[in-house]
C-alpha cells in the first residue's frame, strides 16, 4: 500500500459548469489517477504517489440518479424537464436521486484512499464531518441520522429532520469520484419535483434558511 507523505490534494474551482462537462472532467481525472496508480505499483515506485484532486463547482439545474436509484423518484417526465430547462442524468455513483443547481456548493474529491485510509464508510463520515464543521462556523448545528447518508438539521427529531447536504460517491481501486452537494441558498422548489434521495418523509433545507439572523449575510 502506498503511504508516502505529505498527502497533497490539488484544488480547482470550476465556477459555474454544466453537469455533463464536469462529469466528463471527473471521469478523465479519475481514469488518469487509476492508471497512474496501477503503473506505479507495477514499477514498485514508492518515490511518487497518485495525485489527488478536489473540484468545487456550481451547476445549472440538473437532477442526477445514482446507479441503484429508482426512476419513480423523479416526478417529471421529459416534457416537464424541458419546460423547466432542467437536465437529467443517470450516473455511476451510489445513492438515489438528487438535485444540483444555483446556490449549491458541489464538491468532487478524486482521492487515492490508499494514501489516507481504505474504508469507504469512514470516508463518507469524514465528508459529513467537514460539512458539519463548516455549518458550525455559521452557527448552525448539523448532524447525522443513523442509517442515512448525508448531513441533517434536527436529525434527532424525525418530524423536523431536514437534509442540508447529500452525498454520493463511486470508488474503484480505492480512488474516489463524485462527492457532496451542500445547499447554501438553493431554491428549494426544485426539490418538489423529486423524492430527494428516495426518502419521502424528510424535508430539505439550506444554510440561508437556517442560519441565525446575524450570520445570514455571510451565506447569500
Is 15 within 8 Å of 105 (Cβ atoms)?
no
Instruction: Give the count of beta carbons closer than 10 Å to the beta carbon of residue 147.
Output: 5
Which string of b and e fits 179-215 if b means at least 16 CB within 10 Å? bbbbbbbbebebbebbbbbbbeebbbbbbbbbbeeee
Compute the distance between CA of residue 156 and CA of residue 131 in angstroms, rounded to an integer.
Answer: 18
Respond yes or no on whether the N-terminal peptide bond of residue 177 is cis (omega within 30° of 0). Answer: no
**What's the pLDDT at 49?**
80
Is 78 within 8 Å of 131 (Cβ atoms)?
no
pTM of the model: 0.90
Question: Which one is catalytic: 57, 166, 197, 211?
Answer: 197
Annotation says 165 is catalytic: no
> Helix (H) and strand (E) counts for the chain?
4, 11
**What's the pLDDT at 213?**
52
**What's the pLDDT at 47?**
63
Which string of b and e fits 50-66 if b means at least 16 CB within 10 Å? bbbbebebbbebbbbbb
Q: 37 φ, ψ to 5°?
A: -65, -45
Is 91 within 8 Å of 19 (Cβ atoms)?
no
**What's the pLDDT at 1?**
41
Helix (H, G, I), strand (E, B) or coil at 102: coil
Q: What is the pLDDT along the chain (220 residues), one digit of tens a residue?
A: 444 455 789 999 999 999 999 999 999 999 999 999 988 888 776 667 888 999 999 999 999 999 989 999 999 999 999 999 999 999 999 999 999 999 999 999 999 999 999 999 999 999 999 999 999 999 999 999 999 999 999 999 988 999 999 999 999 999 999 999 999 999 999 999 999 988 888 899 999 998 875 455 454 4
**What's the pLDDT at 46?**
66
* Among candidate residues 9, 12, 199, the one with its CA nearest the CA of residue 113: 9
Q: In the chain, where are the structural domains located?
A: 9-218
Q: Residue 35, Cα to own-chain centre: how many angstroms? A: 24
3.40.50.11270, 3.40.50.970, 3.30.930.10, 3.30.2450.30: CATH of 9-218: 3.30.930.10
Compute the distance between CA of residue 21 and CA of residue 107 in angstroms, rounded to an integer.
Answer: 15
Helix (H, G, I), strand (E, B) or coil at 188: helix
Amino acid at each position: 500500500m502506498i503511504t508516502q507523505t505529505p498527502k497533497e490534494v490539488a484544488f480547482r474551482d470550476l465556477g459555474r459548469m454544466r453537469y455533463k462537462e464536469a462529469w466528463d472532467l471527473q471521469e478523465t481525472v479519475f481514469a488518469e489517477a487509476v492508471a497512474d496508480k496501477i503503473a506505479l505499483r507495477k514499477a514498485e515506485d514508492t518515490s511518487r504517489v497518485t495525485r489527488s484532486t478536489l473540484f468545487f463547482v456550481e451547476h445549472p439545474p440538473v437532477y442526477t440518479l445514482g446507479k441503484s436509484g429508482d426512476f419513480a423518484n423523479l416526478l417529471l417526465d421529459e416534457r416537464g424537464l424541458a419546460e423547466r430547462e432542467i437536465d437529467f442524468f443517470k450516473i455511476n455513483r451510489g445513492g438515489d436521486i438528487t438535485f444540483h443547481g444555483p446556490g449549491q456548493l458541489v464538491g468532487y474529491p478524486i482521492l487515492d484512499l490508499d494514501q489516507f485510509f481504505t474504508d469507504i464508510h469512514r470516508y463518507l463520515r469524514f465528508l459529513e464531518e467537514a460539512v458539519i464543521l463548516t455549518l458550525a462556523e455559521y452557527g448552525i448545528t448539523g448532524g447525522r441520522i443513523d442509517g442515512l447518508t448525508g448531513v441533517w438539521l434536527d436529525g434527532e427529531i424525525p418530524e423536523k429532520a431536514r437534509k442540508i447536504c447529500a452525498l454520493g460517491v463511486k470508488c474503484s481501486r480505492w480512488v474516489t469520484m463524485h462527492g457532496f452537494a451542500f445547499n447554501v441558498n438553493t431554491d428549494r422548489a426544485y426539490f418538489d419535483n423529486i423524492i430527494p434521495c428516495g426518502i419521502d418523509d424528510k424535508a430539505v433545507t439550506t444554510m440561508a434558511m437556517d442560519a441565525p439572523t446575524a450570520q445570514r449575510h455571510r451565506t447569500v
